[in-house]
Amino acid sequence: MASLSDPQRDTFRLSQLINDSRYRSLTIQTVAMILLVLLFSWLVSNTVQNLQALGKDFDFGFLGEPAGYDINQRLIEYNSQATHGRAALVGILNTILVAVLGCALATVLGIIAGVLRLSNNWLVAKLMAVYVEAFRNVPLLLWIIAIFAVMAESMPQPRAFREGGGAEMILFDSVAVTNRGVYIPTPVWGDGSTVLVIVFLASLVGIWAFRRYARKRQEATGDILPVFWVGLGLFFVPSVLAYFVMGRPVTLDYPELGGFNFTGGLHLRNSLIALWLALSLYTGAFIAEIVRAGILAVSKGQTEAAFALGLRPGRTMNLVILPQAMRVIVPPLISQYLNLTKNSSLAIAVGYMDVRSTLGGITINQTGRELEGMLLLGAFYLATSLVIAAVMNVYNNSIKLKER
């Protein structure tokens, strides 16, 4: 009777780290990581030694020192006696504000222009082509300065709004467009306003839930529910009822001409509006081309099949073409959002006090902490970009093709 013995296992040898394909890639990655860490350590050590030679240290204590400068556009309370950290926070919020407004408006403009570029109407298609080519091929900085100059030079002065001055407020005498900016009503929150906000947020949740229910029902039965009208009712009716039931807890403070300028309301400076419009129009032109490419990527047979089923062009675009095109549109759209956020650093050209102007500008000049300031500035843009990319990637994963 023959006996079988287990095969003898090979012992590990150091030469296998190079010669054996099972370990070679791990060895290369380990060596590369060690070299990268050594390089980074050398850069940090060299920087610290150079700073010491110049009589400087590496310290973020300057953020607690008084700033000593004013910020004209701000979302939170601030004065010149506040700290540099507070000034940096004001600049961060200003950057986030213009980035959010810019991304929203650029998306709307881009989708409209991208769809209209494919219109069968020759005039409309050519007008959209002119818009896209004009804004894509002229530097953004020029558009920012041009829009700012138009608003500062062509808009009337506040004193022109006096009786007989030739200028009038718009939207039922509630908005004033001047060469110093735009004055709009601002809400005044009273008792019970918290309940009103909760009702409004609940309405938004209700709209989302109904749209989801309507989509699932349509997929299951083919029935089309009136999503638009129900959503419109949910958006207005609960909030309006809560507004009157709670005794009108929110009122409006309207701008009024007093002396040589307007008082009351909310003042949107020309720098903010110029930067917002320029970023939106410029990025919207790129988004328009992305939308056009996404639509053209969908097979023409999809449109013909939808028409054969009796769908009108509008519903074909909303229900058939755009849902498929979004899988092509969203990835490059993320890059445009990131570019818009980083391009907002050009705000310094028109005096808009974003984080580049506060932390990366005046604060560095006053404190001499250029290394610390630039590191914080870079960390902010990096964190903001990562957040935008993460949120958009979640949406991108939700619309991608689901394989069985």
Quickly count: other Cβ atoms within 10 Å of residue 140's Cβ: 19
The predicted-structure confidence for 374-383, as pLDDT tens digits, reads as follows 999 999 999 9
The predicted structure's pLDDT at residue 402: 65
**Residue 143 lies inside a defined structural domain of this protein:** yes
Q: Is residue 45 part of a domain?
A: no
Nearest residue to 116 (alpha-carbon basis) of 307, 288, 299:
288
Q: What predicted TM-score, i.e. pTM, was given to this entire model?
A: 0.84
User: Which helix (H) or strand (E) segment is 141 a member of?
Assistant: helix 140-154
Nearest-angstrom CA–CA distance, 193 and 186? 14
Query: Is 84 a domain residue?
Result: yes
Q: How many residues does the chain have?
A: 404
pLDDT recorded at residue 368: 85
d(CA 402, CA 281): 34
Q: Is the dihedral of CA 17, 21, 23, 29 positive or negative?
A: positive
Computed over every residue of the chain, the mean pLDDT equals: 88
**Separation of alpha carbons 16 and 375, rounded Å:** 42
Mind listing the pLDDT tens digit for each residue in 250-261? Answer: 888 888 887 778
Domain annotation covers residue 86: yes
The CATH number for 119's domain is 1.10.3720.10
Structure tokens at 226: 């009136």
Looking at the domain assignment, is residue 2 inside a domain?
Answer: no
DSSP-assigned states of every residue in 332-353: HHHHHHHHHHHHGGGGGGGT--
pLDDT at residue 1 tops 70:
no
pLDDT value of position 123:
94
pLDDT tens by residue, 173-210:
888 888 888 999 998 888 888 999 999 999 999 999 99
> Where residue 10 falls among pLDDT bands split at 50, 70, 90?
low
Q: State residue 292's pLDDT score.
A: 93
Q: Count up the domains in the chain and report the number.
A: 1
Predicted local confidence at residue 141, as pLDDT: 94
pLDDT in tens, 230-287: 999 999 999 999 999 888 888 888 888 877 788 888 888 999 999 999 999 999 999 9
Domain membership of residue 319 (yes or no) is: yes
CA distance 136 to 104: 18
* Residue 154 within a domain: yes
Q: What is the pLDDT of residues 286-311, one digit of tens each?
A: 999 999 999 998 888 888 888 888 88
Q: Domain for residue 128, yes or no?
A: yes
Does the structure show a pLDDT above 90 at 218? no
Residue 4 reports pLDDT greater than 80: no
Domain that holds residue 297: 58-159+270-356+397-404
